[in-house]
Each structure stands twice: as structure tokens, then as C-alpha cells.
Amino acid sequence: MKKDITSAIWWKALCVVLLIYTVVAGFLMPVPALAILHETIRNLYFHVCMWFAMMFILTISLVYSIKFLMNPKEDFDIIASQTANTGMVFGVLGLITGSLWAKYTWGAWWINDPKLNGAAITLLSYFAYIVLRSSMDDEQKRSRVSAVYNIFAYAMLIVFVMVYPRLSQVDSLHPGNGGNPGFNSYDLDSHMRMVFYPAVLGWLLLCSWIAAINIRLERINRYNYNKI
Amino acid sequence: MIKVKGFLLLLAVLCVNTLFAQTEATGNIEMADGMRSSGKIYVVVAVLVIILAGLLLYMISIDRKVSKIEKEIEQEKK
């Protein structure tokens, strides 16, 4: 099996350090006292990071899908598919944690909000990617069709998570909308930044770590399959 | 068994969260200052660190298992 970044140790060690820092500092560092939010503002270190991790890993998935279309190597297909699978897990966690947070700040598990619906549509389009892959037996065809679909799914992601909620015509309760990208209302606090940025990197690395293990397992799977 | 315990702890943490989330803000914004002064926030932090440490150790052990299989395949190729 070839050695690459997926089996390197340094970034996994960094992940462990950053996540432990996130949990300790995330609960003990001071946060601004805001109405409605109260202590739940600390969810920023966890819920939001799920989405950052998902966006990052799905971008890698897109890159490897494009790489596969330019140069159909089996390994590119393995990386594209396994990163997409891992991204879905983090997306679902983001959706569930967001729903719980919404219940105790907005008063409902789900509201008809552009950001929430956009995220749900995005997840559905990626579930379609997984279904599409499992529906084809021919490896060559599966790799090519799913790589093309992945580019489409990523376009959906950008439109429904980044563009649509920010249009000025739609109102959203969710922060970072209405022509106001980012988390300005929270992020101004310098104490929160000290935790938030390491937290994003930590969760992003954890997501990559899980994806790396999935990739290596899939490589072993394919190797065993090709041997038989 | 460890998994069940971890889940129960997680559930307990969630319950604590909801209790605090339900208290209404009237006048002053209520933060968990009381919990902090009595020192019990550290219990939550400790619980989460234990859960996180457990999960990360599990990740490391899975990573090692995969590395071992990769090495075996490498030797098989030779």
C-alpha cells in the first residue's frame, strides 16, 4: 500500500491537541452574554464546525472528481467517494445539532428558513450521490458517472448553502445571511475567536482523519478484490 | 459497556443543557455563572474530555489496525 498523507501522523496529533483544547476552552473561556442565546453560544465551537468540516471534505471530494475526469485513475475515485461519504456524516451531525439548538433558541425543531432548507436540500443531493454509486456495478461507469454527478452536487451545495440564504429577498433567523456573510455578530468577541478558529481546524482534521481511514480501507478492499 | 456509559453521560450532558436553556431571560441575561462558581462546570468539562479522549484513542487504534493490514499487504506483494 502506498504511503501518503493519509497515513502520516503529525496532523492527527494536531487534531487531538486542538480538539481537547476546544472542549476545555470551549466551556471555560468567557463568552458574550447575549439574549436568547445565553450559554448556547458555545455551540459555535461544535455545531458550526461540523459544517466547516463538511464543506472542506466535500471540496476535496470535488477536486478528486475533477482529477478523475481528467485522468481516470482508480485512486482518485476512491478518494472522491470516501470523502463524500465522510462529509455526509458531518453534515447529518450539523443538521441534528442545529435542530436541537434551534429548539431551545428559536422554539422549534425545524423552521421554514432558507439556510435550514438549503442545508437539507444539499444533504439530499449528496445522498443521491451515494445511491447513484451503489446502483451501478460496472466500476468504470460508476466512477465516471458519479464524478460528473459530484460536480453537480457541489454546485447545488454552493447555491443552496452559500448563495441562496444570502439573497436580500429572503429573511433568515440563521446568522450569516441577508448580505451579511460570516458570523460577524458572534465573532467580534476576541475570546471566542481564540477558541473558534482552533475548533474549526480541529474538527476539520478529525473529519479528514475519518476520511483517511475510509480511503485506506477502500484501497485495501479494492486490492483484495483485484487479487481475486 | 464503555460505549453504553459514554452514551448515558452524553444524555446527562444534554439534559443539563436543556434545563439551562429553558430558563427565561428577564432583565439580566442569565449565564452559567452559578454553576461556574460552585465549580461544577469542571465536571462537565472532565466528562467531555474523557469522552473525547476515549473516541480519539479509538481513532488511533483503528488507524493502527489499518496500518498493520497495509504492512501485511506490502509484505505479501514482495
**A161-170, B8-17, B46-55 — which one is most confidently predicted on average?**
B46-55
* Residue A88 CB contacts under 8 Å (≥ 6 apart), including other chains: A54, A123, A126, A127, A130
Give pLDDT tens digits for B32-53.
665 555 557 788 788 888 889 9
Are A94 and A50 contacting, i.e. CB atoms less than 8 angstroms apart? yes
Select the residue of A23, A206, A210 nearest B48 (Cβ to Cβ): A23
Give the mutation candidate from B15, B16, B42, B52 for the A interface (greatest A CB count, under 10 A). B52
Select the residue of B29, B45, B53 nearest A27 (Cβ to Cβ): B45
Question: What total number of domains does chain B contain?
Answer: 1
For the ranges A20-34, A87-101, A138-152, which has the lowest average pLDDT?
A20-34
Domains of chain A, by residue range, sit at 5-227
What is this model's ipTM? 0.74
**pLDDT value at residue A227:** 84
Specify which residues A87 forms β-bridges with.
Answer: none
Q: Is A21 in CB contact (< 8 Å) with chain B? A: no
Give pLDDT tens digits for A171-226.
677 776 544 444 555 555 778 888 999 999 999 999 999 999 999 999 999 999 88
The residue of chain B nearest to residue A43, with distances taken between CA atoms, is B17
Q: Which domain holds residue B34?
A: 2-77
Find, among A51, A33, A35, A53, the residue nearest to A192 by Cα. A33
If you average pLDDT over every residue of chain A, what do you get?
Answer: 88
Give pLDDT tens digits for A20-78.
999 999 888 888 777 777 788 888 899 999 999 999 999 999 999 999 999 999 999 99
Q: Is the pLDDT of residue A4 over 50?
A: yes
**pLDDT value at residue B68:** 92
Give phi and psi for A94, each to the nearest 5: -60, -40
Q: Are A34 and B41 within 8 A, CB to CB?
A: no
Q: Is the pLDDT of residue B11 over 70?
A: no
Q: Identify the residue whose cell numbers are 506490502.
A: B74
Select the residue of B49, B63, B74 nearest A23 (Cβ to Cβ): B49
**pLDDT value at residue B31:** 72
Helix-helix angle A190-227:A47-70, to 10 degrees: 40
Cell numbers linked to A91: 453534515
